[in-house]
Amino acid sequence: MARGDLTDEEWSLIEPHLPLGERGPIPDLRRLFNAVMWRFRTGSPWRDLPSEYGPWSTAYDRFRAWALNGVFEHLMQAMIAEAAARGQADLDLISVDSTTARAHHHAAGMVLDGELSAALEQAAEQEKGLRQRGKTLAAAIPGTATREATTERDEGGYGAGTGSG
């Protein structure tokens, strides 16, 4: 087992959520999952995957299939639910890195109707005020869901089209 690979305890939580193929030999899912984790932990290209994880193309193909089928989204929701059941969930630690989210240059200058524009400006000002006071939007608006009840999966999902290979 290489440094950074899943422990037996971690694998026991993840394994039930990984699908098997419909036909052919049963792949070593743990090795493939560790390969995907290695790739994203190091930021290296798929072709630089160490030989202990098998052929890079096999690991990439499995990653791509999992990503397109929503396996990572389901796995994240399952891990959050498991942590919540154990009383170990701290949703303040969940974040999304948006530094690579870019709009196309044609997106600049979008025309909004007055009502939508005013609502967006009001929401932005309200959020800015909350951040300055160290509060959250859910805590400030009466009748909104609590943090525990907002763990539903975002229907938009996560981007599955990433990868350099």
Distance CA 154, CA 158 (A): 9
Task: Determine the pLDDT at residue 146.
Answer: 47
Contacts of 87 (CB under 8 A, 6+ apart): none
Query: What pLDDT, in 10s, does the model give residues 48-74?
Result: 999 999 999 999 999 999 999 999 999
DSSP 102: -
Which pLDDT score is estimated for 58?
93
* pLDDT at residue 154, rounded to an integer: 46
pLDDT at 90: 72
Per-residue pLDDT, 152: 46
- Cβ(34)–Cβ(3) below 8 Å: no
Domain ranges of the chain: 8-85, 114-141
From CA 56, how far away is CA 61, in angstroms rounded?
9
Point out the residues of the chain with pLDDT beneath 50: 146-157, 159, 165
Tell me what pLDDT residue 56 has: 95
**How much is the pLDDT for 119?**
87
Residue 73 CB partners (closer than 8 Å, separation 6+): 153, 157, 158
C-alpha to C-alpha distance for 150 and 148, rounded to whole angstroms = 6
| H-helix or E-strand spanning residue 119 | helix 114-133
The residues near 111 (Cβ < 8 Å, ≥ 6 apart) are: none
pLDDT for the residue numbered 150? 45
